[in-house]
Amino acid sequence: MAKTLVIGANGTVGSELVRLLTGRGHDVFKATSRPATSANDVQVNLASGAGLAQAFKGVEQVFLLTPPGFAKQDDLLIPAIDAARAQGVKKLVLMTAMGANADEAAPLRRAEVHLLRSGLTWNILRPNWFMQNFNTFWIQGILEHGKIFLPVGTAKGSFIDARDIAAVAAQLLSSDALNNQEFDLTGSVALDHDAVAAVLSKATGKAIAFQDIAPEVLRGGLLQAGLPADYAAFLLLILGYFKAGYAERTTDAVQSILGRAPRTLEQYAHDYRAAWASAK
């Protein structure tokens, strides 16, 4: 099978993608910001570009995303796309976010357009909000107060399990049948955060609720947690889009590519219930 480089290999999507590709017989190389600890590890700093050229040498295809914490994602992704092309990479699967193509001036959209014009064989994946955000980014409020604190009101989102995103990427990197196509990835249904809290409560036996908060309250928490101010502003911007209803749409992309329905929030909550075991 192909020599495949996974950038962000220790992340939520990347770690599962590495597992799936390895199981399919790919020669998988793992690119992360951490020092290499095995022969198949490659240290890459997308922010500085350090390690990019070396990482792409001899690689046939790449899975690329930008790590969290950066609001100007094109500054990281475009040089990576150029380095891949320069080193002879044949195919690149880029993960951005649902809605990235709504504004041609948006950083993620600029990266998408750059890939489309690169001459590489490509796929673009635009997932909706991850279910796994509830056991990572939003977990502190759940553990300390039994609440999901977000400024989204009663708006709904068609949350997707990151494992399904990885499964889609693995399929695209294992076949040329869907080359040069873009896919918006969602779950099967849209739920508001009260419904999410109810599902988490049932799975854990804990009383978990949703509390709507002002954007500035979240901003303060994000800055206190050490996030850069521009990235905090970016998160508030896209949460504003969520509140406006743009995350409610569903697609059949996961079903059509994988031949099965996306995982449900109930499945996710059951599988990750240990994450919230210490919730008050």
CATH number at residue 233: 3.90.25.10
Q: What does the pLDDT read at residue 141?
A: 96
35 and 90 both lie in a single domain: yes
Neighbours of 202 (CB within 10 A): 14
Residues 73 and 142 reside in one and the same domain? no
Q: pLDDT tens digit string along 199-252?
A: 999 999 999 999 999 999 999 999 999 999 999 999 999 999 999 999 999 999
- Statement to judge: residues 152 and 192 lie in one domain: yes
> For all residues of the chain together, what is the average pLDDT?
96
Same domain for 121 and 237? Answer: no
- 150 and 267 in a single domain? The answer is yes
Q: Say what the pLDDT of residue 17 is.
A: 98
Nearest to 189 by CA among 272, 244, 94, 268: 268
Are the beta carbons of 32 and 44 closer than 8 angstroms? Answer: yes
Instruction: Please indicate, yes or no, whether residues 97 and 146 belong to a single structural domain of this protein.
Output: no
Nearest to 203 by CA among 128, 274, 113: 274
pLDDT per residue of the chain (280 residues) written in tens, 0 to 9 = 689 999 999 999 999 999 999 999 999 999 988 888 888 999 999 999 999 999 999 999 999 999 999 999 999 999 999 999 999 999 999 999 999 999 999 999 999 999 999 999 999 999 999 999 999 999 999 999 999 999 999 999 999 999 999 999 999 999 999 999 999 999 999 999 999 999 999 999 999 999 999 999 999 999 999 999 999 999 999 999 999 999 999 999 999 999 999 999 999 999 999 999 988 7
Q: Is residue 174 part of a domain?
A: no
Separation of alpha carbons 240 and 25, rounded Å: 42
One domain, residues 135 and 194: yes
Domain with 244, as residue range(s), is 129-159+187-248+261-280
Question: Is the domain of 108 the same as that of 133?
Answer: no
Is 165 inside any structural domain? no
Q: Tell me how far apart the alpha carbons of residues 205 and 56 are, in angstroms, rounded to a whole number.
A: 47
Q: What is the 3-state secondary structure (H, E, C) of 237-258?
A: HHHHHHHCCCCCCCCCHHHHHH
